[in-house]
């Protein structure tokens, strides 16, 4: 009998900054949580004589390990593993070495090569180590992680500021890959979520997708490029405060190339366009890259032009080649760099002939050229983001049956989203309450039950502001 054991330890760090508003006071917190996941692989091999052909067993192995989980009281918690093994392993879940049986409170779902444990509602005493054990006749594998249950914080006003139960993590990928940033947020609703890259708000387009599913906010980058590298932030805002978490995204490596046949050795071929250069739109001060793929034999001479004028290699213009892909990189693009850029590839073609029974090699210089063009547009940076400001509302006493208008001036960039509340409840647009695009609330007819505290809240990517007034209807 042979026994072997291997233990792997994985450490994950989650960082976030939190701001809580209590009256005129702001409380700032920097929260760092370090979680350690321990994965243990054990195998036992026994030699025995078996008649007939028996396929060797493959011991279990976790391809996706259990991850640490943080949750507030009365929320659900979820653990998930994926595994391999032959024959297919059975999976048993444990809490502090006590086996878990599937029930209404602890739901176990195992299908194919995946097993999920859902704790329907967690309490402080549920904190501890949860483990998954996969076993077959080839051996046994175990992985475990902590569940941390926290008491839900309360502010003085009874509102809970946003808090990340899962922060976005650093990513390193190659160009062309899918990049995914996931965050989970808890706190008093409504919570507004914004994504930033290097301090600039990320807008959804054909490559940047923003999703919300299963209480998880996700930013997806489709076919990431080197220019997508940078510092990304997820910002969560509500009436009680805000929270932020950040991660670095690094995209490095060669751009994926379009596969194309290369000329056989000794075969002469005029330049042939495989992939054209594409127009670029970049922010002022950011790099711009043009590339094209050209097949030719002998190797072509490459020349780059802007508006018909040849570009020379310098610290601002970098020219390079990777195989049959040719690249022009502008290290920093400014408005004066706008224009039409072109790439010209040329080589000489060879010619073979026969004369009077003798083989003659003669080289006829035939200059073959191909030209590719693409525009460059440089956008000036957006105006710096500015948190909203509101002029104060004034308390009003009015007579039943009359109309009433509440009005405040709002500033901020980008344009803030304005919402009105009465006693903390959002006021929808209706016949009785007309909410205008500007910060104006018209009450067509007032009644005594309309008395209370009215609040105007303005929110944008840079922050949040609000002002309140007491309305008394007599």
Domain holding 344: CATH number? Answer: 2.60.40.10
> What integer is the mean pLDDT of 166-193?
87
CB-CB contact of 102 with 180 (8 Å) = no
Are both 222 and 340 inside the same structural domain?
no
461 pLDDT above the threshold of 70: yes
428 part of a folded domain: yes
342 part of a folded domain: yes
Top-ranked range on mean pLDDT: pick from 51-65, 156-170, 385-399: 385-399
d(CA 68, CA 127): 11
CB-CB contact of 121 with 149 (8 Å) = no
The domain boundary, picked from 349, 379, 409, lies at: 379
List Cβ neighbours of 51 (8 Å cut-off, separation of 6 or more): none
Confidence label for 99 from pLDDT (cuts 50, 70 and 90): very high
60 pLDDT above the threshold of 80: yes
d(CA 390, CA 439): 9
Are both 279 and 413 inside the same structural domain?
no
Identify the residue with better confidence: 13 or 169.
169
- Total number of domains in the chain: 4
Confidence label for 92 from pLDDT (cuts 50, 70 and 90): very high
The domain boundary, picked from 379, 411, 430, lies at: 379
| CA distance from start to end of the chain | 90
Are both 80 and 29 inside the same structural domain?
yes
| b/e code 252-266 from CB counts within 10 Å (16+ = b) | eeeeeeeeeeeeeee
d(CA 188, CA 274): 55
377 pLDDT above the threshold of 60: yes
d(CA 155, CA 168): 25
Identify the residue with better confidence: 15 or 457.
457
Domain that holds residue 432: 386-473
360 pLDDT above the threshold of 70: no
258 part of a folded domain: no
189 pLDDT above the threshold of 50: yes
463 part of a folded domain: yes
| b/e code 116-150 from CB counts within 10 Å (16+ = b) | bbebeebeeebeeebbbbbbbebbbbbbbbbbbbb
> What integer is the mean pLDDT of 447-461?
86
> What integer is the mean pLDDT of 99-119?
90
Would the CA dihedral through 389, 394, 395, 399 be positive or negative?
negative
85 pLDDT above the threshold of 50: yes
409 pLDDT above the threshold of 80: yes
257 part of a folded domain: no
Are both 37 and 146 inside the same structural domain?
yes
93 pLDDT above the threshold of 90: yes
Mean pLDDT across the chain: 79
Residue 449 carries which DSSP code?
G
Confidence label for 263 from pLDDT (cuts 50, 70 and 90): low
Confidence label for 154 from pLDDT (cuts 50, 70 and 90): low
Are both 146 and 60 inside the same structural domain?
yes
Largest separation between any pair of C-alpha atoms in the chain = 119
d(CA 358, CA 366): 24
| pLDDT of 388 | 86
CB-CB contact of 332 with 316 (8 Å) = yes
Confidence label for 441 from pLDDT (cuts 50, 70 and 90): confident
158 part of a folded domain: no
> What integer is the mean pLDDT of 216-244?
88
| pLDDT of 364 | 30
Phi, psi of 202 (to 5 degrees): -90, 125
Are both 168 and 146 inside the same structural domain?
no
Are both 325 and 392 inside the same structural domain?
no
pTM: 0.40
Question: Where does 187-299 show beta strands of DSSP type E?
Answer: 192-197, 200-201, 208-213, 216-221, 230-238, 241-251, 269-275, 280-283, 288-297
CB-CB contact of 235 with 191 (8 Å) = no
Are both 34 and 130 inside the same structural domain?
yes
d(CA 250, CA 228): 8
Which 3 state secondary structure label does DSSP give 28?
strand
d(CA 209, CA 224): 12
256 part of a folded domain: no
Confidence label for 133 from pLDDT (cuts 50, 70 and 90): very high
| pLDDT of 222 | 85
48 pLDDT above the threshold of 80: no
> What integer is the mean pLDDT of 397-404?
88
d(CA 116, CA 82): 9
94 pLDDT above the threshold of 90: yes
| pLDDT of 177 | 86
| pLDDT of 379 | 66
213 part of a folded domain: yes
Question: Where does 222-260 show beta strands of DSSP type E?
Answer: 230-238, 241-251
> What integer is the mean pLDDT of 148-165?
74
332 pLDDT above the threshold of 90: no
The domain boundary, picked from 358, 379, 400, lies at: 379
Are both 146 and 21 inside the same structural domain?
yes
Are both 12 and 123 inside the same structural domain?
yes
Are both 214 and 278 inside the same structural domain?
no
Radius of gyration of the chain measured on its C-alpha atoms: 32
| pLDDT of 380 | 62
> What integer is the mean pLDDT of 321-344?
86
Confidence label for 460 from pLDDT (cuts 50, 70 and 90): confident
| pLDDT of 135 | 92
Are both 168 and 56 inside the same structural domain?
no
Instruction: Give the number of other Cβ atoms within 10 Å of residue 56's Cβ.
Output: 7
Confidence label for 366 from pLDDT (cuts 50, 70 and 90): very low
> What integer is the mean pLDDT of 270-289?
80
Confidence label for 219 from pLDDT (cuts 50, 70 and 90): very high
| b/e code 210-225 from CB counts within 10 Å (16+ = b) | eeeeeeebbbbbeebe
């Amino acid at each position: 009998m042979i026994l072997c054991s291997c233990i792997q330890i994985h450490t994950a760090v989650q960082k976030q900054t939190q701001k809580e508003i209590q009256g005129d006071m702001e409380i700032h917190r920097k929260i760092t949580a370090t979680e350690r996941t321990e994965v243990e692989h054990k195998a036992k091999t026994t030699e025995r004589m078996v008649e007939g052909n028996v396929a060797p067993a493959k011991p279990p192995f976790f391809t996706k390990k259990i991850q640490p989980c943080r949750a507030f009281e009365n929320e659900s918690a979820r653990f998930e593993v994926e595994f391999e093994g032959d024959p297919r392993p059975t999976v048993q879940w444990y809490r502090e070495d006590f086996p878990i049986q599937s029930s209404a409170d602890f739901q176990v779902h195992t299908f194919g090569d995946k097993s999920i444990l859902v704790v329907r509602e967690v309490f402080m005493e549920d904190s501890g180590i949860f483990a998954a054990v996969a076993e077959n006749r080839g051996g046994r594998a175990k992985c475990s992680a902590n569940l941390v249950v926290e008491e839900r914080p309360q502010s003085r006003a009874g509102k809970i500021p946003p808090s990340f139960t899962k922060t976005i993590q650093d990513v390193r990928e190659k160009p062309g890959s899918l990049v995914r940033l996931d965050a989970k947020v808890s706190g008093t609703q409504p919570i507004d979520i914004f994504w930033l890259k290097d301090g600039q708000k990320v807008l959804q387009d054909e490559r940047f997708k923003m999703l919300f599913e299963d209480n998880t906010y996700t930013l997806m980058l489709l076919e990431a490029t080197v220019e997508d590298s940078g510092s990304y932030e997820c910002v969560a805002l509500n009436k009680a405060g805000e929270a932020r978490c950040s991660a670095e995204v690094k995209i490095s490596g060669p751009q994926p190339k379009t596969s194309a046949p290369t000329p056989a050795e000794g075969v002469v071929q005029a330049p042939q366009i495989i992939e054209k250069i594409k127009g670029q739109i970049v922010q002022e001060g950011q790099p711009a890259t043009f590339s094209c793929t050209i097949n030719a034999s002998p190797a072509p001479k490459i020349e780059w032009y802007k508006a018909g004028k040849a570009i020379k290699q310098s610290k601002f213009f970098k020219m390079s080649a990777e195989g049959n892909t040719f690249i022009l990189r502008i290290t920093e693009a400014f408005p004066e760099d706008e224009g039409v850029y072109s790439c010209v590839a040329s080589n000489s073609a060879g010619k073979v002939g026969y004369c009077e029974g003798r083989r003659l090699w003669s080289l006829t210089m035939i200059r073959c050229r191909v030209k590719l063009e693409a525009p460059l547009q440089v956008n000036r940076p957006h105006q710096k983001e500015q948190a909203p400001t509101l002029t104060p509302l004034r308390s009003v006493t009015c007579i039943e049956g009359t109309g009433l208008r509440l009005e405040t001036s709002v500033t901020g960039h980008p344009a803030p989203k304005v919402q009105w509340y009465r006693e903390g409840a959002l006021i929808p647009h209706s016949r009785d309450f007309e909410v205008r695009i500007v910060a104006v609330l018209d009450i067509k007819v007032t009644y005594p039950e309309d008395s209370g505290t009215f609040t105007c809240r303005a929110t944008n990517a840079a922050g949040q502001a609000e002002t309140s007034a007491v309305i008394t209807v007599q």
